[in-house]
């Protein structure tokens, strides 16, 4: 998923979770479907995240070994070696992709929590409307 697709998904989520008089009943009916849909997406994205984390850890270990034992420089401390790894373009690019994937997973996790609370939002909205009507 690229950033543009992610922005579209976030915008769609904001639109479909807006509660007003026109979609109150639709939201009540569609809540289980939304939960299932976003839970499935969350599961797909978290598997991708775990795979990316594994690849990132493997690359870190390879770079650590290469820098520690196969270079002419005497990088002795863990901090010095990590600075070299974090400055490596290959590692940096994969880390950026990993961080973006983590953002996607966090979005889906938050979306699921919001969907779980929609029932309470609908109840509160209904009670508020009844209060305004004087009932």
Q: What is the DSSP string of 88-108?
A: -HHHHHHHHHHHHHHHHHHHH
**Within the chain, which residues score under 70 in pLDDT?**
135
pLDDT (0 to 100) of residue 16? 84
Strands (E), 42-115: none
State both tokens at 102: 């983590």
pLDDT (0 to 100) of residue 60? 96
State both tokens at 64: 């650590």
Q: CA 93, CA 89: separation in Å to the nearest integer?
A: 6
Segments making up each domain of the chain, as ranges: 1-7+49-135
Q: What pTM did the predictor assign? A: 0.81
pLDDT (0 to 100) of residue 22? 75
Contact yes or no for 112/42 (Cβ under 8 A): yes
pLDDT (0 to 100) of residue 19? 75
For residue 99, give the DSSP letter: H
State both tokens at 31: 């809540």
pLDDT (0 to 100) of residue 122? 75
pLDDT (0 to 100) of residue 134? 81
Contact yes or no for 71/4 (Cβ under 8 A): no
Run of H or E including 125: helix 118-133
Give the chain's radius of gyration (CA, Å): 23
With a CB cutoff of 8 Å and minimum separation 6, the contacts of 84 are 63, 67, 75
């Amino acid at each position: 998923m690229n950033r543009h697709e992610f922005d579209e998904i976030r915008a769609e989520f904001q639109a479909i979770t807006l509660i007003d008089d026109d979609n109150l009943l639709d939201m009540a009916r569609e809540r289980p479907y939304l939960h299932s849909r976003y839970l499935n997406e969350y599961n797909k994205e978290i598997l991708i995240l775990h795979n990316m984390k594994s690849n990132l850890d493997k690359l870190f270990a390879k770079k650590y070994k290469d820098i520690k034992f196969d270079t002419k420089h005497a990088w002795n401390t863990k901090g010095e070696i990590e600075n070299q790894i974090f400055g490596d373009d290959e590692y940096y690019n994969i880390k950026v992709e990993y961080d973006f994937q983590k953002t996607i997973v966090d979005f889906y996790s938050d979306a699921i929590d919001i969907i779980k609370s929609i029932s309470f939002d609908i109840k509160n909205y209904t009670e508020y409307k009844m209060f305004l009507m004087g009932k």
